[in-house]
Amino acid sequence: MRRYVLTGTPGAGKTTLLRGLAARGHTVVEEAATDVIAWAQARGEDEPWTRESFVDGIVALQKRRQLTAPTADAVQLYDRSPLCTLALATYQGRVPSSALTAEVERVTTQGVYERQVFFVRNLGFCEPTAARRINFRQSLEFERVHEDTYRAYGHELVDVPAGDLVLRIATVEAVLAERRAE
Give pLDDT tens digits for 90-120.
Answer: 999 999 999 999 999 999 999 999 999 999 9
Q: Which helix (H) or strand (E) covers residue 78, if one does?
A: strand 75-79
CA distance 139 to 176: 28
As beta bridge partners, residue 3 has: 76
Q: Is 124 exposed, middle or buried (CB count within 10 Å of its CB: 0-12, 13-18, 19+)?
A: exposed
Q: Along the chain (182 residues), what's the average pLDDT of each consecutive run of 10 residues?
A: 93 93 95 91 90 92 93 90 96 95 98 97 80 81 96 97 96 93 76
CA 171/CA 50 separation, integer angstroms: 36
Whether the CB-CB separation of 67 and 107 falls below 8 Å is answered with no
Smallest CA-to-CA distance from 10 within 132, 119, 148, 117 is with 132
pLDDT tens, position by position, 59-73: 999 999 999 998 877
| Global confidence as pTM | 0.92
